[in-house]
Amino acid sequence: MKIGVLILMVLFLAMLVGLFYISYKMLLKVRQEERAANANQPQPRQLHPKLQAQLEQQKKAQDKDAQD
């Protein structure tokens, strides 16, 4: 009885390790595909929040001048 439980535990452990291995391989494959898909697209650049605020103020000022 104890040997059966021990063998069953070893099998479950082997299955668990196998599932981790398969999921890791799948994760690597998906990351590689994402990198390939995103390589052609330029990364959007973000301005510093202070510069973004200045740019918005300038646009508002231009819009206000254009309306007047």
Handedness of CA 41, 42, 43, 49 (dihedral sign): negative
pLDDT tens-place values along the chain, 68 residues long: 999 999 999 999 999 999 999 999 999 999 999 999 888 887 778 888 899 999 999 999 998 888 86
Residue 7: predicted pLDDT: 97
Backbone angles phi, psi at 13, to 5 degrees: -65, -40
Residue 17: which domain range? 1-39
For residue 2, being part of any structural domain is answered with yes
For residue 63, being part of any structural domain is answered with no
For residue 18, being part of any structural domain is answered with yes
pTM over 0.75: no
For residue 9, being part of any structural domain is answered with yes
For residue 54, being part of any structural domain is answered with no
Cβ-Cβ contacts under 8 Å for 47 (sequence gap 6 or more)? 55
> What is the three-class DSSP state of 47?
coil
Residue 66: predicted pLDDT: 82
Domain count, the chain: 1
